[in-house]
Chains A and B, each alone.
Chain A
Amino acid sequence: MAEAKSPSGVSRVLNAAWLRPFVFLLVIVAAWDLSIRLFHIPAYQIPSPGDVVAVLWTDWPELLRQSWPTTYATICGFALSALFGIPTAMLIAGSRTVESYVYPLLVFSQSVPKIAIAPLFVVWFGFGIIPKVISAFLLGFFPVVVSAVQGFKSVDSDMVDLARAMQGSRFRVFCAVNLPHAMPAIFSGLKVSVTLAVVGAVVGEFVGSNSGIGYVLQRSIGTFDLPTMFAALVILALLGVILFWIVDRIERLVIPWHVSQRADIIFAS
């Protein structure tokens, strides 16, 4: 009977799906503020949410200016991950020989901590954007390859046989069967990759840069300016969320047929 009751306008807005994460966020921020007051945590250890918001408000132009280089490096690194990751996965999935040579080495290289070798890129490429892009690329590359390999390999061999029996050339069969089939897996890899690319870009900025959010983070830690540091973290989180959301939207456009998107089709038709 409770469901039959039509909810009031306010509670309907509060129950809207897009609002829920914000409501939850608000609860977390309130808990944060409350625990600082309750346990008397000094501001040099954890700043209060109010201070962080104040910094975000007053230093907004500066933070925005600093977030462009980070965004730029992230997108470049991510684009390179996709550009090299997908063809690499195609080669690995397409040839046992390539797989046996390349895949173990790729996994091995993934175990090398990127943060440890990031200074090396500064030595090689200076303090410009390139070390950041490379570090974003290195973090974003692996998940794309792993997911795409899995996607390409999970094609039903009967389906490929069917297309080949119709005299489809290798390229035609690949475009009509293998590639679309791998798309959902590729996109799940891209979504992991884009958030890791943000981390990669910040790591690049940590070790050698005089611009970007990573640089702001580094500087504010040095001066114990915790509100600014937390504000930078908020900006980074926002950046990750926005980029993830963009990839998610593109996925919906590219693979509307996939199981994960079917609810939308039913409502549309």
Chain B
Amino acid sequence: MNPATKPSDLDQPAAHLRLVSDRAAGATPGITLSGVSKTYRSRDGDVPSLRPLDFTINDGEFFVVVGPSGCGKSTLLKMISGLLAPTTGEVLVDGELVTKPHGNVGIVFQNALLLPWRNILSNVMLPIDMKGLPRAKYLARAKDLLKLVGLAGFEKKLPWQLSGGMQQRASICRALVHDPKIMLMDEPFGALDAMTRERMNVELMRIQRETGKTVLLITHSIPEAVFLADRVLVMTERPGAIAAIYDVPLPRPRSLDSMSDPVFTELVQRIRKHFFTQGTLD
């Protein structure tokens, strides 16, 4: 066996690859998960999706989750937004227990999911309509956000008249228009081509810096995770559990050049090893 893939090797990371173990710390600001697990009931019996998870996402942090397909990442996202109740444990947002949709999140899915009968501007305004907030008050904000992502002048276009990358940028505006504290992104750039994806990564980082949102992003791409994140959570295969949480000590602001930084490449390799060891063990 290759000594580099020995599990013991993963447990003793180098100084800048500190393995952070987070424990729920009570009513802290940010998102706290304590003992959260999820088991789906089906006709063939219970299907465990997530093993109990404990971690905290700090305010204003860019937190990225990587894991193999079907490890319950999307379940995690639904539980934080309040759409799905955990089987055990509790989710706290700013110290408050999440039991139903709390509206303090903006969600971006892999598909832009813009409503084809609404133009771009009124698609962005959807959360305002859903929450029943005064439209006039948020209209200017919606237009500013569209300008922020470079979609000024496309307000009256219908979604199908825009490219995939532009649609996804509009859906990011929709996630931000009601000024939520948290942005939940489920493989937001998975459907885009590699070039657009890199550009969107840089842009998302800029948007996060300018708005100061807490971001929880789920991805399959390890380089994308390391490039964007303050911390990366690595998940195991189904039923998902925390394999490790890594700090990303790359200085901000980062550019695409950061990807050739030795710290970056080392961390990417390290995270990749998690999946290799899992693959050979199973």
List the B side residues contacting A176 at CB < 8 Å.
115, 126, 129-130
As a 0/1 sequence over residues 159 to 195 of chain A, the CB contacts with chain B under 8 angstroms (1 = contact) are 1011111111000110011001100000000000000
B116 CB-CB contact with A under 8 Å: yes
Partner of A167, one of B103, B117, B158: B103
SS class, residues of chain B in contact with chain A: loop
Inter-chain contacts of A156 with B (CB < 8 A)? 111, 113
Are B129 and A162 closer than 8 Å at their CB atoms?
A: no
Contacts of B34 in A (CB 8 A): none
With CB as the reference atom, state the residue of chain B lying closest to A162: B107
In the bound complex, CA of A262 to CA of B117 (Å): 12
**A-chain residues with CB within 8 Å of residue B101 when the two chains form the complex:** 164-167
Residues of A with C-beta under 8 A to B178: 166
B239 at the interface (CB under 8 A from A): no
Which residues from B are CB-within-8-Å of A161? 78, 81, 83, 107
Q: Is the CB of A165 within 8 A of B160?
A: no
* Residues A162 and B105 in contact, CB atoms below 8 Å apart: no
Scoring B105, B116, B127, B130 by chain A CB atoms within 10 A of each residue's CB, the highest score goes to B130
What per-residue 1/0 map shows which CB atoms of B144-163 lie under 8 Å from chain A?
A: 00000000000000101000
A158 contacts B130, C-beta separation under 8 Å? no
B138 interface residue (CB < 8 Å to A): no
Smallest beta-carbon distance B138→chain A, Å: 12
Kindly list chain B residues whose C-beta atoms are within 8 Å of the C-beta of A164: 83, 101
Query: Given contacts A177-B115, A180-B117, is CB(A163)–CB(B130) below 8 Å?
Result: yes
Q: How far is the CA of A262 from the CA of B107 in the complex (A)?
A: 29
Q: Which residues of A contact B48 (CB under 8 A)?
A: none
How many A-B residue pairs have C-beta atoms within 8 angstroms? Tell me: 60
Q: Interface extent on A, as a size class?
A: 20 to 34
Within 8 Å of chain A (Cβ to Cβ): is B102? yes
Partner of A257, one of B82, B117, B131, B132: B117
Closest to A256 in B: B117
Whether A167 and B102, one on each chain, are in contact in the complex, defined by CB atoms closer than 8 angstroms, is yes
A159 pairs with B113, CB closer than 8 A: yes
> Chain B: which residue is nearest A266 at the CB level?
B161
| B275 beta carbon closer than 8 Å to chain A | no
Q: Which residues of B sit under 8 angstroms from A265, Cβ to Cβ? A: 158
Q: Given that A166-B103, A176-B130 are contacting pairs, would A262 and B115 also be in contact in the complex, using a CB cutoff of 8 Å? A: no
Task: Say yes or no: B82 contacts A165, CB within 8 Å.
Answer: yes
A172 & B158 in contact (Cβ 8 Å cutoff): no
Q: Complex Cα distance A164/B132, Å?
A: 13
A166 to B83, CA, bound (A): 10
Q: Does A258 contact B (CB under 8 A)?
A: yes
Mask of B40-83 contacts with A, CB within 8 angstroms, 1/0: 00000000000000000000000000000000000000100111
Q: Assuming the A-B contacts A156-B113, A166-B126, are A262 and B160 also in contact, with contact meaning beta carbons closer than 8 angstroms in the complex?
A: yes
- Which residues of the other chain, A, contact B113 by a CB distance below 8 angstroms? 156, 158-159, 162
Q: How far is the CA of A155 from the CA of B146 in the complex (A)?
A: 26
B78 touches A255 (CB 8 A): no
Q: Which residues of A contact B (CB under 8 A)?
A: 156, 158-159, 161-168, 172-173, 176-177, 180-181, 255, 257-258, 262, 265
25 example contacts (A-B, Cβ-Cβ < 8 A) are as follows: A158-B109, A158-B111, A159-B113, A159-B115, A162-B107, A162-B109, A162-B113, A162-B126, A163-B126, A164-B101, A165-B81, A165-B101, A165-B103, A166-B103, A166-B131, A167-B102, A167-B103, A168-B129, A168-B130, A172-B129, A176-B126, A177-B115, A180-B115, A255-B117, A257-B116
